[in-house]
Structure 1
Amino acid sequence: MEYRILIVEDEQGIADAVCAAMSRWGLKAEAVTDFRRVMEDFDRVKPHLVLLDISLPFMNGYHWCTEIRKASSVPVIFVSSASDNMNIIMAMNMGADDFIAKPFDPDVLVAKVQALLRRSYDFAGSAPVLEHQGIVLNTGDNSLTCNGQKLDLSRNEYRILLTLMQNKGKIVSREKLMEALWQTDSFVDENTLTVNVGRLRKKLEAAGVSDFITTKFGEGYLVG
């Protein structure tokens, strides 16, 4: 498997050096060039891991980490010269998986990236899966497989489907689902839940699966 790495680093020399080091070790790396459109590159590349600087043009790395975490649970490593305790703590609290201080040895960085990739993906096959009506939810990499097609889920979509499949055959209240989402967001309202359920249904329908999630008006949702 060829892992894809997205590098969000505005110092061109560092970005080039990291790309070259990743390539030497068989990793496919791509650096962002337009720092106003980081999420567009994220959606296009679909990286397995993101390397993220703190000090960036337009919006800082904390902003982009928040945006990434809204869409994905992909591993994120901050790489920054702002390596005081406050920034390290803030980075981890924002959802980062590791923090590497500049200056750094590119090969040491690659070793840390490889270790995190192994922890995040190589053991996913042994992670428990939930299966219902041919739909398979892998709790190792938060992915969904239906009709032989693997679908990427956002963190919120994964939490919703996990809760529903853990309670298959039972109606799950909207309140219980919002509690599941509170694990990833500081505040979730009813509209957030409705929007995420709608997105999840569209992904399932696009893969040829309809009516997997049933709405029980006034009660909640059901996977039967």
Structure 2
Amino acid sequence: MRIAVLDNDRSQADLVCQVLSAAGHSCQFFDSGKEMLAQMRKDSTDLLIMDWPAGDPEAADTLRRAKEKMAPDAPAMFLVSGSAEDDIVAGMAAGADDYLVKPLRRGELVARVSALLRRAYPAQTGTEQLQFGSYVFETRPGRLLKDGSVIDVTQKEFYLALLFFRNIGRPLSRAYIHEAVWVRETAVPSRTMDTHVSRVRNKLSLRPENGFRLVPVYSYGYRLEKLGAQ
């Protein structure tokens, strides 16, 4: 699904896009309402997520204008501070379908977005498959298969593996991996990440004979390499 993210906080927008991209969606970031509305005249948007700055008088107008450019059933969600009750009321009155309280939690974000999309597009939100060689990721249930057989992985192992496969050949820093997979868990020991990477490598048999190799990048992070034709 195509998701527009409007937020002038780039770090928060990057977080939203990383989480939803890992869940199989296509995200486009905007830091101004004017730019987003102009793009909406050209391309369709399945869902809008926008930050709602406390006391911003233009937020409601931006949301209403965006909804006018989207399909009638296309949902909108806004992000708001927990104490900003007036902003929550204003956002829902302006046409939003749901909201999330900051700071964001990855699991809740994915669950709320999935629920909105299921209601809006019941015929289009079945299992989505992403295939890389003999590996198939079913993003909606979070299931991983190799050669048709299910691999038993935890949720974090699933998202970690998908992150590597969506970035084949690209070195990923430890900081980037941490933010994409562990998100708001600030106290994650280095060995925890290494353990998860090792489990992904072993469970998926990411070895040269299977066409892929997951390797450490010294003093930086990890890289998944594709070897030969698949």
* TM-score in terms of structure 1 length: 0.49
Alignment TM-score, normalising by the size of structure 2: 0.48
